[in-house]
Amino acid sequence: MRTTASERAKAAAILQAWGFVRVQRSFYVGKLPRGRAANLLRVLAKHVKSGYVALIPVPEGALDGALELGKPPYAPLKPPRYKQIYVV
Q: Is residue 77 part of a domain?
A: no
- What would the DSSP string read from start to end of 5-47? HHHHHHHHHHHHHTT-EEEETTEEE----TTHHHHHHHHHHTT
Q: Is residue 73 part of a domain?
A: no
Q: What domain range includes position 57?
A: 4-65
Q: Is residue 80 part of a domain?
A: no
> Confidence band (pLDDT; 50, 70, 90) for 87?
very low
pLDDT tens digits along 35-83: 899 999 999 999 998 888 888 888 877 877 777 777 777 766 665 554 4
Q: Is residue 82 part of a domain?
A: no
User: Using an 8 Å Cβ cutoff, are 69 and 47 in contact?
Assistant: no
Strand partners, 24: 27
Calculate helix-pair angle for 36-45, 4-17, nearest 10 degrees.
150
pLDDT tens digits along 27-48: 888 888 878 999 999 999 999 9
Query: Model-level pTM greater than 0.75?
Result: no
What total number of domains does the chain contain? 1
pLDDT on residue 86:
44
User: Using an 8 Å Cβ cutoff, are 54 and 12 in contact?
Assistant: no
> Confidence band (pLDDT; 50, 70, 90) for 88?
very low
Q: Is residue 86 part of a domain?
A: no
> Confidence band (pLDDT; 50, 70, 90) for 85?
very low
pLDDT on residue 80:
56
